[in-house]
Amino acid sequence: MVESKWPLIPVEEAKAIIRAHVRPLPTVEVRFEAAQGLVLAEDVHAREPMPPFPASAKDGFAVGASDTTEWRRIVGEQFAGYEANIRVEPGTAARVTTGAPIPPGADAVIMVEFSEVRDGYVRFTRRVEPGADIRPPGQDIAGGQRVLAAGTVLGPPEIGLLATVGATTVRVHRRPRVGVMSTGDELVEPDEQPGPGQIRDANRFSLMAAVREAGAEAFDMGLAPDTFEALEAFIREGLERYDAIVTSGGVSMGERDLVKPLLERLGTVHFGRVSVKPGKPVTFATVSGKPFFAMPGFPVSSLVSFEVFVRPALLIMAGWPPDRVERPRVPVVLDHTVRHTAGRTEYQRAVVRFERADGRFHAVTTGFQGSGRLLSMVGANALLELPEGRDTFEAGEVVEALLIGPLEAPSRREAEKRV
Ligand code: AMP
Ligand code: MG
């Protein structure tokens, strides 16, 4: 029996090794509009309070709350965006719109819905307390307040806050630039017709998409044939250009699986096998100080390996707080028996949904779980993590699931169809 020279290490150990070798990329200053998905490398403070002035929260009338005059004279209008030269005295009121500064003399706003206007006078069907429908200065943001902390991932509300406080350039961690290549003499480009013994390259494209989904920039390094010379040339060029490299294929036990021996020559291989299914030959190396992730060739193996080992690493490089780079892990009830052999940690693709009836998450796997069957990942929003040391799980048992996509709320019929 031919034995691999690489020890089979547990998933958690492999993940720890990767973590010990990746660190956040240097920071850069960018325009805030271009910062979506990036991670702040500095705290951001507001200079001014928000709102900056007492502002009306409604369309209506600015009044004195204690004024008991029935018909009050309308002294003028104060709309949003400027300061009108008017004052609200007892016996008067001023028209205001939402966001308008409250005129001096007024201490409350009465909604237009509670007003009746006649001949330049207004009366109200409601009384209000002082302060009603006035947003005091600093209600939303105090002057000088820290609005965003270093380590925050910038999404829509954060981009809006940067605009609000006028932080138009921000210091962020650089987006990782990741080179992706496939290896294999049998592979042709997707728009080619495969000849005898050939198949189309899937992994380069699924992996580039996964890289982008992880918020990094993906670069197509192309399709490398299974020779040392070609592989070495591809890898050297990639290392010059990118922060990390992701490859697929060429890491198992075949005569033409050259990636591991080549990586040993060019850098340090930190592990060459993991006790995981799919993806046992997944390999991690550093070459010239850069992380190099070699995914197995089977399309599901490469994507699951990316999900488990590469994605968290890319997030760390992008500056994400280390405690946020893992997928959410939830206990799920199996809706059917799940066959599993105890020898390795197995990630089965599944659809997880929340069941109102029992208040728990339930999982249904996506059919045949072959490493080549990319269809088993289509529509999956979870990986069931079936632990080493325990075999088949019965319907009704609870296992851990990594949520890799949004939860859906399928109709009862759809849910029943899947079972
Ligand atoms: P390997 O790890 O190179 O031995 O490949 C394992 C299996 O995955 C073989 O059946 C390959 O043909 C297939 N495979 C390798 N790379 C790709 C790829 N980029 N796209 C689709 N299938 C691939
Ligand atoms: Mg191959």
Alpha-carbon span 216 to 238, nearest angstrom: 16
Confidence category of residue 93, pLDDT binned at 50, 70, 90: very high
Rounded distance from Cα 298 to ligand 1 centre (Å): 5
- pLDDT given for residue 189 in this prediction: 98
For residue 390, how many C-alpha atoms fall within 13 Å in the half-sphere facing its CB?
11
Cβ–ligand 1 distance for 248 under 6 Å, the answer yes
Ligand 1 atom closest to residue 249's alpha carbon, by position in its atom list: 3
Whether residue 381 contacts residue 401, with contact meaning beta carbons closer than 8 Å, is answered with: no
For the CA of 184, the nearest ligand: 2
Whether residue 55 contacts residue 99, with contact meaning beta carbons closer than 8 Å, is answered with: yes
Rounded distance from Cα 250 to ligand 2 centre (Å): 4
- pLDDT given for residue 333 in this prediction: 98
Q: What percent of the chain has pLDDT over 90?
A: 95
- pLDDT given for residue 2 in this prediction: 81
Q: Is the pLDDT of residue 402 over 80?
A: yes
Rounded distance from Cα 347 to ligand 2 centre (Å): 22
pLDDT digits 0-9 by tens, 302-315: 999 999 999 999 99
* Mean pLDDT value across residues 326-337: 98
For the CA of 248, the nearest ligand: 1
For atom 15 of ligand 1, the residue with the nearest CA is 297
Tokens of 186: 């049998």
For atom 16 of ligand 1, the residue with the nearest CA is 297
* Mean pLDDT value across residues 325-330: 98
- pLDDT given for residue 412 in this prediction: 57
**84: helix, strand or coil:** coil
- pLDDT given for residue 411 in this prediction: 59
The CATH class for the domain spanning 329-418 reads: mainly beta
Among 189, 248, 252, the mutation site with the greatest number of ligand 1 atoms within 8 A of its Cβ is 248
Q: What percent of the chain has pLDDT over 70?
A: 97
Nearest to 99 by CA among 83, 113, 85: 83
Q: In the chain, which segments carry CATH 3.90.105.10?
A: 27-49+141-173
Cβ–ligand 1 distance for 203 under 6 Å, the answer yes
Among 181, 185, 187, the mutation site with the greatest number of ligand 1 atoms within 8 A of its Cβ is 187
Confidence category of residue 1, pLDDT binned at 50, 70, 90: confident
Alpha-carbon span 60 to 72, nearest angstrom: 14
Q: In the chain, which segments carry CATH 2.170.190.11?
A: 55-135
The CATH class for the domain spanning 55-135 reads: mainly beta
Tokens of 381: 């929003």
- pLDDT given for residue 410 in this prediction: 57
Nearest to 258 by CA among 222, 277, 283: 283
What Rg value do the Cα atoms of the chain yield, rounded?
30
Angle (CA) 384 396 418, round 5°: 65
Q: In the chain, which segments carry CATH 2.40.340.10?
A: 329-418
Which superfamily is assigned to 11-26+176-324 in CATH?
A: MoaB/Mog-like domain (3.40.980.10)
pLDDT digits 0-9 by tens, 184-235: 999 999 999 999 999 999 999 999 999 999 999 999 999 999 999 999 999 9
Cβ–ligand 1 distance for 249 under 6 Å, the answer yes
Tell me whether strands 244-248 and 217-224 are parallel, antiparallel or unpaired.
unpaired
- pLDDT given for residue 419 in this prediction: 53
For the CA of 204, the nearest ligand: 1
Could you name the CATH architecture of 27-49+141-173?
Answer: Alpha-Beta Complex (3.90)
pLDDT digits 0-9 by tens, 232-287: 999 999 999 999 999 999 999 998 899 999 999 999 999 999 999 999 999 999 99
pLDDT digits 0-9 by tens, 118-144: 999 999 999 999 999 999 999 999 999
Q: In the chain, which segments carry CATH 3.40.980.10?
A: 11-26+176-324
Cβ–ligand 1 distance for 371 under 6 Å, the answer no
More confident residue, 287 or 411: 287
Rounded distance from Cα 295 to ligand 1 centre (Å): 10
Cβ–ligand 1 distance for 298 under 6 Å, the answer yes
pLDDT digits 0-9 by tens, 96-116: 999 999 999 999 999 999 999
Confidence category of residue 415, pLDDT binned at 50, 70, 90: low
Ligand 1 atom closest to residue 296's alpha carbon, by position in its atom list: 2
pLDDT digits 0-9 by tens, 163-179: 999 999 999 999 999 99
- pLDDT given for residue 3 in this prediction: 83
Confidence category of residue 408, pLDDT binned at 50, 70, 90: confident
